[in-house]
Structure 1
């Protein structure tokens, strides 16, 4: 499938190119299409070809890169499912509030979701545990979501209401997600991760069409590392670089990622927070 961009420019592995630029459109105009909206860091809103809305790693209200209009969680509209890759606040901060607002479950690492239940952050019905290698179908059999390995850590900071003090709690093990949608299109949301050799297996076994890849370095892959994983192991049709410039430590850029990617058939979309891709 050829992606249609909304007011963005596509980066190929070698240079900047205009690719399939379309006119601005609404979600209603794109009925039956996949829409992927980046909201900063690794926060994504995915509208599937069947119209289901999946929000991944919601960090919006205090995210310096999230467009102002999306700092109001109501701006997301309908939400059918929330996925959280790990417990760090820049991936999970708004998940409990969003789950309660929409009465929809958060699926995430078993250890993280158990901690939320134990601490009373979310009730069991809204904090559903699953683990690496597990595949879930909470939106019906046509949408399959599988948790993968991620090379990172996972903790949460919780303010104890009795003491008024912050406490750190282990938040399970970090994961990535493979989303296989109604039309067979596969997204690999890598979460936060460094390089690990089984990315090659993920590329060969799941064959993702689009990867959502962290490139900022320090806590995650550098542009060079991310390019190696893309070119040598994952080999997707499309890549969306994320998790950069949100905080001073995240110095890697999409331009460095593309330069490191070199000669590759993967098309890279360096969109800005709030912008969307249609496939």
Structure 2
């Protein structure tokens, strides 16, 4: 894929992004579902909405939302703080139970009658606590692959992430905050209908089997945390991309939403180095990248 990238970025990124295969554009809120015929064009679209929230539209027109945190996310564009602005949702993926990845998942699932998939064991707590009915919670395990839309649709494989996963919940009967088992953190390899593979890494620290995952699944695009403190910072993220995974493209995420998440795309690109074959795309929240 050789498409021109147009995005008004800081000067430090301009040279590195010139000639990139993805096209970054401003995405208006999709207040109405897009007609299937207009998006089943063989392209994939990744819309970043701040932190780790991604809306992925597949070449076949399926919409997968990963780690939805919108209403209280300081980096989410104002229009998207109204959940109906996300547009249609066919499936929700949650990498772990922390509120900045899970907070708006139940509401979106109910709004669209969309199944919420989790591979780390969080689903049992969601159902037991009454957060969602069992019919909307689909569970599978690390290393497992599911094909929610049938054999010709996208395939999703759960892979390891190095993090934690507590589920904080306010008990409506007592009005007190409680902490429950949130399963294990995971990342997802999302293989689209045309074979394009996206690795949403969730929250993770650096670990050696990133190399094995990269060699096994060969992701084209990684969505990688760079903020530091709770996840990899720019240096570790660059090590993962340059030395272990070696994808065609990387989009940094999970930075800038709090003073603790100090890593920046500029630091990530600098640590990655000019010799890296991976092209770094840096959309602003509310912008999308087409592949």
The bucket for the TM-score relative to the shorter chain is: over 0.9
Flag the 1:118–1:256 CA change in 2: closer, same or farther, 3 A. same
- 1:115-171 CA-partner distances (Å, limit 9, x unpaired): 000000001110111111010011222311000000000011111111100001120
Q: How many residues align?
A: 279
1:7 has 2:17 as partner: no
Post-superposition offset of 1:7: 3.5
Report the RMSD for the aligned CA atoms in angstroms.
Answer: 2.2
Residue 152 of structure 1 corresponds to 163
Residue 199 of structure 1 corresponds to 210
Q: Partners in 2 of 1:101 and 1:272 — Cα distance?
A: 26
Q: Partners in 2 of 1:32 and 1:134 — Cα distance?
A: 26
Structure 2, unmatched stretches of 5+, are: 29-33
1:125 has 2:135 as partner: yes
Flag the 1:4–1:136 CA change in 2: closer, same or farther, 3 A. farther
Q: Partners in 1 of 2:11 and 2:91 — Cα distance?
A: 30
Flag the 1:273–1:70 CA change in 2: closer, same or farther, 3 A. same
Residue 264 of structure 2 corresponds to 253
Residue 16 of structure 1 corresponds to 16
> Which of 106, 113, 120 is equivalent to 1:103?
113
Secondary structure at 1:226 match in 2: helix
Q: Partners in 1 of 2:229 and 2:155 — Cα distance?
A: 32
In the superposition, the TM-score normalised over structure 1's length comes to: 0.94
Flag the 1:25–1:132 CA change in 2: closer, same or farther, 3 A. closer
Secondary structure at 1:113 match in 2: helix
41-50 or 140-149, which moves further after superposition?
Answer: 140-149
Residue 180 of structure 1 corresponds to 191
1:113 has 2:102 as partner: no
Q: Which has the higher contact order (CA 8 A, sep 6+)?
A: 1
Residue 209 of structure 1 corresponds to 220
Residue 164 of structure 1 corresponds to 175
1:135 has 2:145 as partner: yes
Structure 1, unmatched stretches of 5+, are: none
Moved over 4 A (4+): 3-6, 8-15, 20-27
Assess if the C-alpha contact under 8 Å between 1:238 and 1:269 holds in 2. yes
Q: Describe how 1:256-271 pairs up with structure 2 within 5 A.
A: 256-262=267-273, 263-271=275-283
In the superposition, the TM-score normalised over structure 2's length comes to: 0.90
1:48 has 2:79 as partner: no
Assess if the C-alpha contact under 8 Å between 2:96 and 2:120 holds in 1. no
Assess if the C-alpha contact under 8 Å between 1:58 and 1:93 holds in 2. yes
23-32 or 218-227, which moves further after superposition?
Answer: 23-32
Assess if the C-alpha contact under 8 Å between 1:111 and 1:172 holds in 2. yes
Assess if the C-alpha contact under 8 Å between 1:12 and 1:266 holds in 2. no
Flag the 1:138–1:24 CA change in 2: closer, same or farther, 3 A. same
